[in-house]
Structures are given as structure tokens and as C-alpha cells.
Amino acid sequence: MLILAACIPVDQTPAGILVSTSSTSLTPVTRVSATPGDFPQQAAQKTQITATATVAPPVTRQAPRSSPTPTQPRCLKVGGRVEVNELTTSLLPDPLVYRIYLPPCYDEDEARSYPVLYLIHGQTYTDSQWDRLGVPEVINRWVGAGEAPPFIVVMPRDRIWQEPTRDNFGLAMEQSLIPWVDEHYRTIPERQYRAIGGLSRGGAWAVHLGLSHPELFSAVGIHSGFVFHTDAGSINEWLDSLPETKVPRIYMDIADHDRPEITQSASWLEEMLTQRYIPHEWHLFTGEHEEEYWQSHVEDYLRWYSLEWGNEEEIK
């Protein structure tokens, strides 16, 4: 059951909210005061930049001497790898299965530690969903080209599909999986370098864990997600008690033809953030509640999660 709420009044969104209606990859935009009803005005506010050039007469130049190109480590070309493991915990009736992506050169560079991203699948799916949507391939390509720092991705499996009051998956992540991963893999075990996100029901888990445990995660991604019915009464308390130094970065996106009950729940949560002037991103993209939509935005999601993890030298 999902929490239902009315849409956000047009005149109640403060500055500091990033809104996008593009169905293509994200591009830098201006932070403006806007609501879904303001999209045409927002588009008009974007700065247009034109360039002029003066044509100079051709000149003869000596061809530059070629310099040797640094040899790329073979492990960057090979890419990362995905392992499937399980963790036994008294919190769950069955072992907690998790899929983990280890980035290029993880085995070769033993002195290095990495940021870690937890991605949770949607209902009726398993830990393979994010893997199937192309997460490893995107990170391999970026790291190989030097476009992003390498990071670990943990994709746990939720088997029970009940509310948090009847499903200990969230507790198992908090009390068992995260400590296990930090102990057995070379993560950077600090909030700044840990993020969580999810699709649909996985997005509801990201809300639950990210807002109730701000000390654990510096970024929370809610992709076509909603609020658990049993969490609805706690949202106000969680948001009101967020320490100023531990307000996570928040990214919300939803398809313009998503299921009405999910759209209403996501809009309700976005309104709660807006009313408290909590910075967040709210994106309305073209699509439906399906894997084709999520796959088309995987690069957007991963780019956002890794945005503040710095470059390779900063996180070594």
C-alpha cells in the first residue's frame, strides 16, 4: 500500500530546487525556484551563449613532435568484475544474497580504498537487476577513459517484499551487510563516501534507510520510488531531526506516465522536502514505470552518485 497525497501547490517551492523535464542525459542547468507548473518559465531562464570568431589568414606551422603516450594499465582495459555472495544473518530467514561490482584494477592496486554505492532492485526483481541495466559497463567505460573515479557497487537482494515492519531487509543492511562489506572489501568506511539508491520498491528502501540513518549515507537516490505506508508517519520526524551537517544530497526522478499511486507518493515526499527547504533534485522524465525507462537514465544516476567523490588522486 502506498501513501497518497495531493500534488504540490505551484507557489510553495523555494529557491534551491533543481527541476528538469528533459528525457535525455542530464546537462548543467541553473538552480531556480520552480515547480512542475513552472517548466516553460524555467526553460526561458536558461542562458544562451553565442560565440564569434575572426578568420585569420592561413599560416605555415611546423608539425609538433610526437610524444610517447602513457601506457594504460591492462587492468583498466579488462574492466571490473561482479561477484555474487551471501551473508548469513539472524535478522533474515534466508541468507542475504548480494551482488558486488569491484572496479577496474581492484585486485592490482591493493593499497587503494574505494567509495561504495548501495543499489536496491525493484519488487519482483532480484539483485541482478542493476547489473542487467548496465551499471558495471558504464563504470568500466568511465574509469577506463578517466572520466570518473572508480567505486564499488553493492546490489543486495530483498526476498520478502513486505513493509519494513514485517521485512527485516533494512535492518539486515544496516546492521549486517554494511559492516560486512566495510570489513571484507577495501571501502572508505566514511559517510562521505557511501551512497544509497533504489528503483521503485528499492527507492522506498532508499527513503527508509537514507532518511532514518543520515549518519550512514551522504547521498540518497529515489528512482520511480515511493514512501512505504508504515514510514509515512515517520517522514516528518526524520526530516525535522536531520542534523544540519548530515543532510544528504537527494535525487528524485519519476516518469511522466508512471503509476498514479507512485507519482502521488513521490510528489508527497517531494513536497515535504520543499516545505522544509531541504535541497534536492526533482526530475520528471518521459517514460513509464519499466526497465526501459530506468536503463535510459542509468548514466544520469551514476554520474550524480559519484559527483562529489572527487578525482582519482583525492580518494586514494
Can you give the three-state secondary structure of 51-100, one letter per residue?
CCCCCCCCCCCCCCCCCCCCCCCHHHHHCCEEEEEEECCCCCCCCEEEEE
Tell me if 314 is assigned to some domain: no
Tell me if 13 is assigned to some domain: no
Q: Quote the domain boundaries for residue 88.
A: 79-305
Tell me if 47 is assigned to some domain: no
Tell me if 171 is assigned to some domain: yes
State the Cα–Cα distance between residues 305 and 316, nearest whole angstrom. Answer: 18
Summarised one tens digit per residue, pLDDT across range 190-249 is 999 999 999 999 999 999 999 999 999 999 999 999 999 999 999 999 999 999 999 999
Residue from 224, 287, 214 nearest 254 by CA: 224
State the Cα–Cα distance between residues 258 and 292, nearest whole angstrom. Answer: 12
Summarised one tens digit per residue, pLDDT across range 62-80 is 444 544 445 678 899 889 9
Domain with 144 in it: what CATH number? 3.40.50.1820
pLDDT exceeds cutoff 80 at 87: yes
What is the arithmetic mean of pLDDT over 119-133?
97
pTM for this predicted structure: 0.79
Tell me if 8 is assigned to some domain: no
Tell me if 176 is assigned to some domain: yes
When divided into structural domains, the chain yields a total of 1
Kindly state the DSSP code that residue 285 receives in the 8-state scheme.
E
**Cell numbers at residue 100, please?**
558486488
Q: Categorize the per-residue pLDDT at 310 as very low, low, confident or very high, splitting at 50, 70 and 90.
A: confident
Sequential DSSP letters for 36-55: GGGHHHHHHHSPP-----PP
For the chain, the 3-state helix, strand and coil shares in percent, each to the nearest 5, are 35, 20, 45
Would you say 19 and 283 are in contact if contact means Cβ atoms under 8 Å apart?
yes
pLDDT number for residue 133: 98
Tell me if 129 is assigned to some domain: yes
Residues 238, 241, 245: CA angle, nearest 5 degrees: 115
pLDDT above 70 covers a percentage of the chain that reads 76
Tell me if 26 is assigned to some domain: no
Number of other CB atoms surrounding residue 98 within 10 Å: 20
pLDDT number for residue 70: 59
Distance of CA 296 to CAs 80, 131, 158, 301, Å? Answer: 22, 14, 24, 10
pLDDT above 90 covers a percentage of the chain that reads 73
State the Cα–Cα distance between residues 279 and 277, nearest whole angstrom. Answer: 6
Q: What are φ and ψ of residue 114, in 5° steps?
A: -135, 150
